[in-house]
Structure 1
Amino acid sequence: MKFTRKASALWEGSGKDGHGKLTTGSKVLENTSYSFHTRFENGEKGTNPEELIGAAHAGCFAMQLSFLLNESDFTATSLDVNAVVTFEDGSIKQVTLNLEGKVPGIEVTQFNEIANKAKEICPISKLLNTEIVLNARLIS
């Protein structure tokens, strides 16, 4: 399968005092604000590249895990993934994926094995050049 997706950014002004707008091809984000302040200070409403990476990674990982569970004849009731992106000294140093999964009939060891495989083969995991930590918890 091959496809492309598009997104655009418009930036106006200086790095610190300027502001930008992000738009995705699907229009889920349309002229969504981002700025130095939303990225480094959390001082105003808007997004930032790191939280968008976190959302992309959490979503990709959850979907990949769902497919792998299905291949082993399990269907998750829910896969709740929280991605924490750590930015330090001009680089993304780590992404921590915190997973809580409800998967009827699966044993903890098998759940952890499948979750770790999903972490390794998720396209966003493969894209990122950083440490990826997975904290997986099977809940009933």
Structure 2
Amino acid sequence: MSLTDSLWVLIVPSLFGVYFVFLLRQFFMAIPMELSEAALIGGCSHFKIYRSIIIPLAKPAIMTMVLFIFIWSWNDYINPSVFITPIEKQVLTVGLQSFQSEYSADTSLQMAGVCVAVLPIIILFSCIQKYFVEGISSTGIKG
């Protein structure tokens, strides 16, 4: 497939995680069947039930999945160092390692790089934060 030495070798495997299958399954199992049965009686097709009812209810779980995939891919060190050989194509986590040699480490440059590396995660979480609050508040509602 000639994926080595490209970013696709990092993106494609992160899209298929077993953890997220279980996460979404548990979330979908918590949605009451009465909602989809009522929509089916009301004349909705299965696709419309899925698109109009199930997906909007699953936004907190989907956003949690998006955030976890991004954080795990962003912080990955082993896969980029194994599958990408040119230093020009390496990711930030592998680049931070270059500030460390066998006998010394430039910790000030490493800490500055870590501050830059954390910014996208903070920005993404601040954009997705409302879905986490929505998911937490909806778990306490019974009846």
Q: State the TM-score, normalized to the length of structure 1.
A: 0.29
**TM-score normalised to structure 2 length:** 0.29
More strand by share: 1
Highest Rg: 1 or 2? 2
